[in-house]
Amino acid sequence: MDFKFSEEQKKFRQEVRDFLEEELRQGLWQPSCDAWIMGHDPEFTKRVAQKGWIGLTWPKEYGGQGRSFVDRLILTEEMLRYGAPAACHWFADRQIGGAIVHYGTEEQRRELLPKIIRGEAYVGLGMSEPEAGSDLASLQMRAVEDGDDYIIDGQKTWTSGGSHMNWIYMVARTDSTVAKHRGISEFIMDATLPGITVRPIVDITGGVHFNEVFFDGVRVPKNCLIGEKNSGWKQVLNQLDYERSGMERLMANYPLFEALIQYTKETKRNGKPLAEDPVVRSKLAQLKIELEVGRLHMYRVALVMDAGRAPNWESSMTKPYGTAFEQRLASTAMEILGLYGQLSPESKWVPVQGMAYHSYLSSKGYSLQAGTSEILKNILALRKLELPTQ
């Protein structure tokens, strides 16, 4: 393992930073926590696309850059560090484009990948259902063949960015006569088709970033199927490894960390800067240790991907680690800020732009989304420790 960056990679990181600094200088957006999943800004996505930074790892023949996963990690790490509003393209860039490269038809690759790369296709992830979360294989949404089409009925829930998506990736049951894992298929379709209804859900922060999505007799041509019919489960598992292992599982609320450090330097308590308080210093230093360990985990995952393997047990290790760190960061912020930390962003007394309030509430979901920590530890126990199935 070699964690040294090449000269090209150092230059690339600087290029990304320069781009983001210039965006900030122009006041095009404000850094925020969770910007990778909640910061929907089509114009930002278009500017990122113009830089050629969407689909960085995809084959050049489809418009990608054929670059490494470490390069992509450098890019996403900087996006997260700056709290840049990258939600419009994040899911497609992270996992759906890759799934189409691996399992899609040539027609799907030629149609969809360029749209994503140009920053025009914003893809939502329709996996979870009201009765199928951790046990996703028990999903009830049905896709029934009808001539050259499928007719889709059912409901998805917690679909992040559902109100902004113009494409939806989703999994549905295509055979209910076989064991539940064997009758599932993956689809991708225009999210504005007749019969699709999106209903926002208010989350714990008061925001409306995730949604219920209802499918009522939605007719789609068979070329919306990704990969083989009834082989969806294997494909989903592969995709989830990519979903779970990115830097967003460690740095979603990174802007809070920097703001907190700055706050302790500027704020006096009992006549002295907070930054001189040994307890505060120790807490911040502890977070820094945990952050740096987490970064090494994430770079290791990128090296695994560059070696051509899905990080199937590594992602089950990095995500619980990363999200536990993020929750500790939010809790530490609350401890350091005291009661002011609980103020919502609208309050004139709110410190660190309300990021502590947001992260404290929002980070509860980090260890649920994309697979809960309990489930991931079960997977790790099975896949790496080779413990028996429960």
Ligand X SMILES: Cc1cc2nc3c(=O)[nH]c(=O)nc-3n(C[C@H](O)[C@H](O)[C@H](O)COP(=O)(O)OP(=O)(O)OC[C@H]3O[C@@H](n4cnc5c(N)ncnc54)[C@H](O)[C@@H]3O)c2cc1C
The verdict on 215 binding ligand X (CB under 6 A) reads: no
Which residue's CB is nearer to ligand X, number 264 or number 363? 363
The verdict on 160 binding ligand X (CB under 6 A) reads: yes
HEC readout, 225-242: EECCCCCHHHHHHHHHHH
Asked whether 187 and 169 are in contact (CB, 8 A), the reply is yes
- Of 107, 336, 382, 129, give the one whose Cα is nearest residue 222: 107
Return the residue of 146, 216, 266, 374 that touches ligand X, per CB under 6 A.
374
Stretch that binds ligand X, among 51-59, 128-136, 304-312, 336-344 (CB under 6 A): 128-136
Q: Which long-range contacts (CB under 8 A, 24 or more apart) does 21-29 make?
A: 23/47, 23/84, 24/82, 29/84, 29/85
Q: How far is the CB of 364 from ligand X (least distance, A)?
A: 8
Asked whether 389 and 382 are in contact (CB, 8 A), the reply is yes
Which residue's CB is nearer to ligand X, number 128 or number 185? 128
Return the residue of 112, 336, 375, 379 that touches ligand X, per CB under 6 A.
375
Return the residue of 86, 116, 127, 287 that touches ligand X, per CB under 6 A.
127
- Of 223, 219, 316, 333, give the one whose Cα is nearest residue 274: 333
Count of residues near ligand X by CB under 6 A: 19
Return the residue of 134, 176, 192, 347 that touches ligand X, per CB under 6 A.
134
Stretch that binds ligand X, among 137-145, 180-188, 329-337, 370-378 (CB under 6 A): 370-378
Q: How far is the CB of 365 from ligand X (least distance, A)?
A: 3
Which residue's CB is nearer to ligand X, number 249 or number 283? 249
Residue number closest to ligand X, CB atom? 133
Which residue's CB is nearer to ligand X, number 44 or number 158? 158
Report the alpha-carbon distance of residue 377 to residue 272 in Å, rounded. Answer: 43
The verdict on 168 binding ligand X (CB under 6 A) reads: no
The verdict on 267 binding ligand X (CB under 6 A) reads: no
What is the 8-class DSSP label of residue 92?
I
The verdict on 133 binding ligand X (CB under 6 A) reads: yes
Return the residue of 300, 378, 382, 383 that touches ligand X, per CB under 6 A.
378
Q: What is the phi-psi region of residue 159: left when phi exceeds 0, alpha when psi lies from -120 to 50, beta otherwise?
A: beta
- Of 239, 54, 42, give the one whose Cα is nearest residue 122: 42
Return the residue of 250, 365, 379, 380 that touches ligand X, per CB under 6 A.
365
Rounded to 5 degrees, what angle do the CA atoms 200, 117, 370 make? 45
Query: Which positions lie near ligand X, rule CB under 6 A?
Result: 125-128, 133-134, 158-160, 210, 365, 368-372, 374-375, 378
